[in-house]
A and B are shown apart, each in its own frame.
Chain A
Amino acid sequence: MLAAQGLTVGYEARDVLAGLDVTIPEGKFTVIIGPNACGKSTLLRSLARLLKPRGGTVLLDGVPVDGQSPRHVATRMAVLPQTPLVPEGVTVAELVGRGRSPYQRWYRQWTIADTEAVASAMRSADVTELADRPVAALSGGQRQRVWIAMTLAQQTPILLLDEPTTYLDPAHQLEILTLLGRLRDEGKTVVAVLHDLNQAARYADHVIAMRDGQIVEAGAPRDVIDAGLVASVFGMDCVVVPCPVSGAPLVVPL
């Protein structure tokens, strides 16, 4: 269970989020949308305890997250940052293996459970055949699947991703979103920041729409996404029609 109460986060003089209350529904695919600089990445990074809030608390399993040990939190919640630094000379299997760090100690580095978790994570993200390739030599889409595999190796019930589809071509974007949907089907709580409204509408179970550090609306895409919301959040005129493939709301700009 992941939630935030009265969350206030800022950089230097400016508060990006001011007193936000959020609840992330369990076992659902939640997508945070909003224009640039609306605070959606800040919200995700605060939930992932990568940013220290000035006020309010993030609750993980009902307990304030900053009171829990980082190692324990890393077994409950995995995070994929926006542009992780690719270490040089590291193979896919090694990088996915780093996902086991929260379960390991310097004096007890590797167990059968680690081997099994890594193999299953690589199968899940479909990167098994890349296992021995250096991560730096992979294409953007492959690399993103490898990073997701690393977070899967953490075997957490919650997965947070900051713009996981940015910098990917449309086919690879869909591939990642389909993978995230499958992870949700397997029982994970998935939270992602996305730029594309229509992708959010199609893949999310729950949408959080933000503007100027505030949550404008939150709920199922069919209930939330309409011309009024798009106008108030993005300042863009549009019509919303049912998507011919999925039936989800489809935003067509005017």
Chain B
Amino acid sequence: MKLRYAGWLVAAGAVLAGAMALSVSVGEADLPWSLALDLRLPRTALAAVSGALFGIGGALIQSVTRNPLASPDVIGVTQGAGLAAVIAVTAGLPYALVAPTALAGGLLAAAVAFLLGARSGFTANRFVLGGVAIAFALRAGIEITLTTADAIDAQRAQIWLLGSLNGLGWAEATPLAITLVVALPLLAMAAWALRTSALDDDTARGLGARPVGVRAAAGALGVVMAALATATVGAVDFVALVAPQTAQRLARTERPPIALAGVVGAALVVVADLVARRLLAPTQLPVGVVTAAIGGPFLIFLLLRARRA
């Protein structure tokens, strides 16, 4: 690992730890630390772990497609999860079933994009364009469902669509954290395999790699991580676009670096959730609005800095 990358990993980790500590200590009331930990750590932990999944999922999808604009919402994962969730909410399914339904919807949409992308070896336009088409069709489905739904259901569904951590905690954070830990060896393998498989296919094959298989597996892993996070906290997915790009520009690597993208994503969602809770307190903003408001300008800043360099 290069020194520059390791340095940024440590720095981003420190920012994440600081943001988590701040997020736990700041709130409606001044609480003693132990009580604040009990009450606020679950939500903060969920913010961190879902942000990490978004960041890692985005990094994998962008590496596989060699497209910095590719993210779960570009290949239809978010919209598939969204449509499934909206249907679940408006159909009056029990709350506990909304997230699993959303997960299934997200994975289904991605599976269709994968089928379209398989013929081009999961790079470039075919995969991404197919995903964009699926995303638009699903978005239309979401709008139709929302306009025909009962007003209160529609509002609940809207909040889910924007992404929100309100009222969530350990019950949601724990499965995501377990997923992340279980996936660690797979991520290490993916990061390694993408080193050669991100070269052009002929060169990669010459080096004994199986580039199409590696890209399919790494892409599937990224989709599962992003779909899990989306199903849990809703469509906070500007994170999946901006965290990998930020990590890549900070560390100046050839592909979005997986670990740093995870840490940056986690820090971004923790900070965004803190802002969402406190900016217009006692009104709580949906966290997805804030991630876009923070992440967008930051990416623009990095792009401008890169042009000067």
Binding site for B on A (CB under 8 A): 45, 48-50, 69-75, 78-81, 84-85, 87-90, 98-99, 101-102, 105-107, 109, 151, 154
Contact = CB atoms under 8 A, between A and B. Distances in A.
Nearest to B203: A84
A154 B203 CA distance: 12
A102 B207 contact: yes
B192 interface: yes
Interface residues of B, number: 21
Contacts, number: 65
B208 A70 contact: yes
Nearest to A147: B203
B92 interface: no
Interface string B190-214: 0111011011101101111110000
Given A89-B252, A106-B189, A106-B192, A84 B209 contact: no
- In the A-B complex, the 3 residue pairs with the smallest Cβ-Cβ separation, listed nearest first, are A74-B208, A79-B206, A106-B192
Contact of A80 (B192, B193, B206, B254): B206
Determine which residue in B188, B193, B195 has the highest number of CB atoms from chain A within 10 A of its CB, and name it.
Answer: B195
Contact of B205 (A50, A75, A87, A105): A50
A74 B210 CA distance: 12
A70 B189 contact: no
Determine which residue in B195, B202, B205 has the highest number of CB atoms from chain A within 10 A of its CB, and name it.
Answer: B202
Contacts of A102: 207-208
A98 B208 contact: no
B253 interface: yes
25 contacts: A45-B202, A50-B202, A50-B205, A70-B208, A72-B208, A73-B208, A75-B208, A78-B206, A79-B203, A80-B206, A84-B200, A84-B202, A85-B203, A87-B198, A88-B254, A98-B196, A98-B207, A99-B207, A101-B195, A101-B207, A102-B207, A106-B189, A106-B192, A109-B192, A154-B207
A107 B191 CA distance: 11
Determine which residue in B207, B209, B254 has the highest number of CB atoms from chain A within 10 A of its CB, and name it.
Answer: B207
A98 B209 CA distance: 11
Contacts of A107: 188
